[in-house]
Structure 1
Amino acid sequence: MRKWLPLSAVCLGTFMLLVDVTIVNVALPDMAADLHTSLGALQWVVDGYALALAALLLGIGSLADRIGHRRCYIGGLALFAVASLASGLAPTTSALITARIVQGVGAAAMFATTFALLNSSYTGRDRATAYGMWGAVSGASSAAGPLLGGPLTQGLSWRWIFFVNLPVSAVAIATCLFVLRDAHTRDTRRLDMGGVALFTVAIGSLTFAMIRTNEHGWSDPACWSMLLTGAVFLLAFVIAESRIAEPVLDLALLRNSTFSGVLIAAVLLNFAAYVSFAYTSIWMQSVLRLSPVTAGLVSLPMSVAAFVVSASLGRAMHRWRPGRVISGGILLIGVGDLLAAALVDAWPSWPALLPGFLVVGLGVGFAAPPLSATGMAAAPPQRGGMAAGAINTARQVGFAFGIALLGSVFTAGTQHALVRKHLTSATALAHDVAAGQSAQVLHSATPGSRDIIDQAIRAAAAHGIDMLLFVAGLIGVAAALISFLMIRQRPSVEDTPELPAPTTSSEERHSANN
């Protein structure tokens, strides 16, 4: 059993950092009430973490190749713990968002080194088993966030969803110090800080624009200005990476249709599978007035299904064609979202979510484990760390964009239903509902109108959730088709990169890329 201690250490950190992507979802209404915040601020509490994680994975992965994966992983754990403490103590929304961004930096340091540490610790079939268990943990972690956040929020306070990270981080750091090791020569090439900066500004600008659009509408000039800024910096990133000798992302990797298909699937998988939790949590607690525990339990079918399927799939993963497994899993995610949308439309209450979330969990269990392994196998061995960073970046970009875009869908669907009921100030009311302020709206209404407004809000919010799930479902179905057409390569246990010492000469780099 001692040989699995490195896997346990890596999985513990992975579980903690991915749980923190979604654990705040169930606490959003309590945060809104305690900090007197808006929908935009709530989105940044979620997106600030995911965005830092997405924007820095590539750069920190390259840095880890220089300072050592073990050292970077342990340093990330320590920073994550400090930022968790700051998040729990945050007196204002701005302080909380700042702490969440720093927490995302620590998470990026952990996530960027995960595959390298597993490759350093295991070979052959043990590596396939390790990847399968890691996939099971990663697939279930995001779904488990609301499940864990509910009891902590209801029994203690929303601040304890951050405080609980402290003892877990201490155990993880102690374990890592004794069982993790680096098994390759450190990279001495120059770190592409320009590429990291361009990518960070591009993704941050695009996310900011989408969140602002949700609050101010598409007619706001600032939204279009930020979208244009993001597009310009993204184009600059592509141009810069194509011309630099030592890029943070080798664009030659994108010529491989399997690797490109994995990146697209990674973006859309997180978009379709996990984003809806943020808004269904607001709906269940603020509109349906469920407790945080009950709202969290709604994610239980998804979490259990994802873990069971992923754990069972790990040993057999290398025997099946990855395109079929990944596309089939993502198709299940899309079907699950569409099923939930249909049931919410017919029966606008929380049990309508359960069958759909169960199917989504099955899809996550099938798609998540082979996604990373297939992308790694499609890249040259000397680009293994870069490939891992790109795949994980894509998943977090999907989540960050999804929070922004599906928030707009939820608000628009709610507003449309309120307009049809001829309610005054439908736009402002829709934003209040989306921000978890339904109770405050009802409290400020006249006693004679409260029942009418309450019924209107319930119907309108259910319509917003219906539209959100429908869009997520369509995204899932489209992602399944793209995955099926693009992902062709069959990985084997031996294909998984060993992450050897990087080449040092320009001739060797040219040979490796071709």
Structure 2
Amino acid sequence: MADVMTRDQRLVLWIAILASFVSFLDGTVVTVALPAIQRELGGGLSTQQWVVDAYLITLGALILVAGSLSDVLGRLLVLRIGLIGFGITSIAIAAAPTAEFLIVARALQGVAGALLVPSSLALITANFRDAAQSRAIGIWTGATTGAMIAGPVLGGVFVDLLSWRLVFLINVLPLAATLLLLHRLGHADHRREGARVDIAGALLCTVGLGGSVFALIEQPTYGWSSPVIWLPLTIGLASFAGFLVRQRLAAQPMMPLDLFRSRNFWTGNLATAFIYGALSLNGFVVGVYLQQGAGLPATLAGLASLPSTLIMILFSSRVGTLAGKVGPRLFMTVGPIVMAVGALLLLTVSRDFSYWWQVLPSVLVFGAGLTLTVSPLTSAILGAIDESRSGIASAVNNAVSRVAGLLVIATLATILGGSLDLDGFHRAAVVTAILLAVGGVVSFLGIRNRMRTSAPTRPA
């Protein structure tokens, strides 16, 4: 039967899930550990922002390079390098003696993480076809997005019972398991003749993001008139403009601008920017406020998101399959709007705090909307591009989602009104809902369902 996976397809799916799992896990598990990191290593809101954004700067900038590296070195080799690098930097973070050391180690971890997700999705698109591909992406989405939400749960348990340092070693087993499965897969690696890495583009993108984010995070401290702020911001914006020009002119760009000629691709990425910016904002604010504002221990703050995890695990595969049959537009429209309603339910949180009546309804509605959104969004974007370019297409989409989160976290002080108190928490909930609603409207106006033809799945 067409929906039965071969042995190699099952291995590929597990490899893709586990490799992405460690990147998503470390991207979210840190949120619940931020108060403990601040207590031990010092620093205020800006330090917490840097712990998150140092990872996202290098991840967002270099995730595009992963597509080119995969062409030059091969997908499987790039995946192995990323897994090993991720393990080494995780150990360095766990041993960090100062906040500055931890931030640098997080930036290096982002470099390794940039090699994981695009290669993982490219493996899926190369080994599955049509409705089976949508189903595989649905399974991948449920597991990896579940990891994004489950991260705070695991992190909270480790923070309360052991140490925040051990939070960053949670990924040791998934890393080892993925390397073992790669060995068992035994596929020959594929390299593209004449492929090159756009080093100049990578440097321009990194400087562009780094300078802009530095200015946004430190602006509340120094003010816009300070050269400490406007000079990095000017350099950052000029570098990013140079990056776009470079992509237009380079023979082998790391982000081919012609990809954006596809309506579903550019619309899907625009929706991604709003939706994933909102997800990053919601995850950061809820994870930190439940501890510092509501007074919950890290474990309970992490467990607060568990219902969303269960919804994702139970229904993402089914949503992926259904979206593969009827098209992604309805799901990408309704899902973000449902999430926006869930975010607005957080306005019921008051000084007389109750998780069951003030937070749980939001978590349930938010989880339902997230499940409706993520798998169809991924399928719509990758389905808009020829399979031979799936690696770079997934890299661009992942870069967009990470950069969106990066910029939202960088502007956190402005969104919150200066501090993460109850008023700041409510402001963040409203901004989250607005971003999500815009993402839904963009999807409704821009996404088009494509007619699919059924074909048997086959391994690459």
Secondary structure of 1:261's aligned partner: helix
Secondary structure of 1:24's aligned partner: helix
CA separation in 2, counterparts of 1:111 and 1:170?
17
Deviation digits for residues 409-436 of structure 1, max 9, x if unmatched? 22x1xx5xxxxxxxxxxxxxx4xxx4xx
Equivalent residues, number: 453
Secondary structure of 1:113's aligned partner: helix
Aligned partner of 1:90 in structure 2 is 96
The 8 Å contact of residues 273 and 333 in structure 1, kept in 2 or not, is answered as no
Q: Report the CA distance between 1:168 and its aligned residue.
A: 2.6
Deviation digits for residues 144-174 of structure 1, max 9, x if unmatched? 1111111011110000111222233122211
State how 1:156-305 maps to structure 2 within 5 Å: 156-179=162-185, 181=187, 184-305=190-311
CA separation in 1, counterparts of 2:345 and 2:247?
42
Tell me whether 1:484 sits opposite 2:444 in the alignment.
Answer: yes
Q: Report the CA distance between 1:373 and its aligned residue.
A: 1.7
Aligned partner of 1:343 in structure 2 is 348
Q: 1:121 to 1:257 in 2, by over 3 A?
A: closer
Deviation digits for residues 216-258 of structure 1, max 9, x if unmatched? 4445443333332222112111112112222111112222222
Between 1:108-117 and 1:177-186, the stretch displaced more is 177-186
Q: 1:167 to 1:139 in 2, by over 3 A?
A: closer
Between 1:101-110 and 1:380-389, the stretch displaced more is 380-389
2:80 to 60, 74, 77: 74
Q: 1:41 to 1:9 in 2, by over 3 A?
A: same
1:133 to 115, 132, 139: 139
CA separation in 2, counterparts of 1:57 and 1:362?
29
Secondary structure of 1:12's aligned partner: helix
Letter in 1 for 2:430: F
Deviation digits for residues 437-488 of structure 1, max 9, x if unmatched? xxxxxxxxxxxxxxxxxxxxxxxx1111000111111111111111211111
1:367 to 345, 353, 373: 373
CA separation in 2, counterparts of 1:178 and 1:165?
20
The 8 Å contact of residues 85 and 163 in structure 1, kept in 2 or not, is answered as yes
The 8 Å contact of residues 24 and 147 in structure 2, kept in 1 or not, is answered as yes
Q: Report the CA distance between 1:182 and its aligned residue.
A: 5.0
CA separation in 1, counterparts of 2:118 and 2:273?
17
Q: 1:191 to 1:302 in 2, by over 3 A?
A: same
CA separation in 2, counterparts of 1:491 and 1:210?
44
Q: Report the CA distance between 1:493 and its aligned residue.
A: 7.1
Q: 1:306 to 1:346 in 2, by over 3 A?
A: farther
Q: 1:491 to 1:143 in 2, by over 3 A?
A: farther
CA separation in 2, counterparts of 1:156 and 1:207?
33
State how 1:308-327 maps to structure 2 within 5 Å: 308-327=314-333
Q: Report the CA distance between 1:190 and its aligned residue.
A: 2.4
Q: Report the CA distance between 1:499 and its aligned residue.
A: 12
Deviation digits for residues 308-356 of structure 1, max 9, x if unmatched? 231221222211232221121111222211222x212596554422211
Q: Report the CA distance between 1:271 and its aligned residue.
A: 1.3
Runs of at least 5 residues in structure 2 that lack an aligned partner in the other structure: none
Between 1:267-276 and 1:95-104, the stretch displaced more is 267-276
Deviation digits for residues 29-49 of structure 1, max 9, x if unmatched? 110011012221211111111
The 8 Å contact of residues 127 and 493 in structure 1, kept in 2 or not, is answered as no
The 8 Å contact of residues 272 and 439 in structure 2, kept in 1 or not, is answered as no
The 8 Å contact of residues 345 and 463 in structure 1, kept in 2 or not, is answered as no
1:463 to 403, 419, 423: 423
Aligned partner of 1:474 in structure 2 is 434
The 8 Å contact of residues 15 and 120 in structure 2, kept in 1 or not, is answered as no
Aligned partner of 1:113 in structure 2 is 119
The 8 Å contact of residues 151 and 293 in structure 1, kept in 2 or not, is answered as yes
Secondary structure of 1:163's aligned partner: coil
Asked which structure has the greater CA Rg, the reply is: 1
Aligned partner of 1:44 in structure 2 is 50
Runs of at least 5 residues in structure 1 that lack an aligned partner in the other structure: 416-429, 435-460, 501-514
Q: Report the CA distance between 1:407 and its aligned residue.
A: 4.0
1:393 to 393, 399, 402: 399
Secondary structure of 1:188's aligned partner: coil
Q: 1:58 to 1:492 in 2, by over 3 A?
A: farther
CA separation in 1, counterparts of 2:191 and 2:42?
51
Secondary structure of 2:43's aligned partner: coil
Q: Report the CA distance between 1:84 and its aligned residue.
A: 0.5
Q: Report the CA distance between 1:103 and its aligned residue.
A: 1.2
CA separation in 2, counterparts of 1:499 and 1:289?
51
The 8 Å contact of residues 21 and 144 in structure 2, kept in 1 or not, is answered as yes
Q: Percent identity?
A: 30
Q: Report the CA distance between 1:357 and its aligned residue.
A: 2.1
Aligned partner of 1:19 in structure 2 is 25
Report the TM-score, using the length of structure 2 for normalisation: 0.92
CA separation in 2, counterparts of 1:264 and 1:493?
27
The 8 Å contact of residues 85 and 166 in structure 1, kept in 2 or not, is answered as no
Aligned partner of 1:147 in structure 2 is 153
